[in-house]
Amino acid sequence: MMLIKVEQLSYLQVLHDLSMQVEEGDWVTIIGKSGSGKSTLLKLIAGLISPTSGHIYYQGQDITDLDPIKLRQSVSYCYQQPVLFGETVADNLNFPFKIRHQQPQHDQLVASLQSVQLPAEFLTKKITELSGGEKQRVAMIRNLLFHPKVVLLDEVTAGLDEESKQAVHQFLVKAHQNGTTFIQVTHEIDEIANAEQKLVLENGGLHHEELSR
């Protein structure tokens, strides 16, 4: 099933007449030089910025015709530098339930922390006391708690220590195995090596690169 279709997309002087398709269950990895427009492409797909020309479709509908809130619940953007809010980890993990008018379950939140190798005690930990890797793991849980259809990963393991990288990667692999579709941009060698489909963003356009196995 086609989830994302990008058709003749242009954005200022960065992207030019770019097209791509993403099927349900894909894991697409996009690489390119710094400044090539990788993050810009993800922000366009997420509906965070608007293209100069062209169209982006989600499940056959132009994203400009969709409710932005519902789109972002289905197509979730994960930033390189995670943005946490409130005072504690629990404030962040409770948020997806709050906007859906649901009551979070303590056991579910504890299990989600443990899925990224963080202990239950982290629920009450202040976000100001978290390391960069811990913040990224909390943000990742928050984004995936309600199983979005598509997750956009913007250099999410850049600058993390090896333990955090492994925890994030294992969490994402499990989510993918459970049906989540991923589009990631990265320069991390391990993530490129594990790509299922690799695209190179160059001179404002995309082209496929053969995977060596």
Distance CA 143, CA 151 (A): 8
Amino acid, res. 211: L
Q: Provide the pLDDT for residue 196.
A: 80
Distance CA 12, CA 15 (A): 7
Q: Provide the pLDDT for residue 137.
A: 95
Q: Is the pLDDT of residue 94 over 70?
A: yes
Rounded to 5 degrees, φ, ψ at 17 are 50, 45
Q: Is the pLDDT of residue 193 over 80?
A: no
Whether the CA torsion 143, 148, 154, 158 is positive or negative: it is positive
Q: Is the pLDDT of residue 200 over 60?
A: yes
- Nearest-5° angle of CA 183, CA 185, CA 190? 100
Domains with residue ranges and CATH for the chain: 2-208 (3.40.50.300)
How do residues 174-187 score in pLDDT, each as one tens digit? 999 999 999 999 87
Amino acid, res. 195: A
Q: How confident is the model at residue 66 (pLDDT cuts 50, 70, 90)?
A: very high
Q: Provide the pLDDT for residue 195.
A: 72
- Helices 132-144/89-99 angle, 10° precision: 20
Question: What is the pLDDT averaged over residues 160-179?
Answer: 92
Whether the CA torsion 136, 146, 199, 9 is positive or negative: it is negative
Question: What is the pLDDT averaged over residues 202-206?
Answer: 92
Strand, coil or helix: 137 = helix
Give the Cβ contact number of residue 15 at 10 Å: 24
How do residues 114-135 score in pLDDT, each as one tens digit? 999 999 999 999 999 999 999 9
Distance CA 127, CA 87 (A): 6
pTM of structure: 0.93
Q: How confident is the model at residue 211 (pLDDT cuts 50, 70, 90)?
A: low
Q: Provide the pLDDT for residue 194.
A: 66
Cβ pair 76, 83 in contact under 8 A:
no
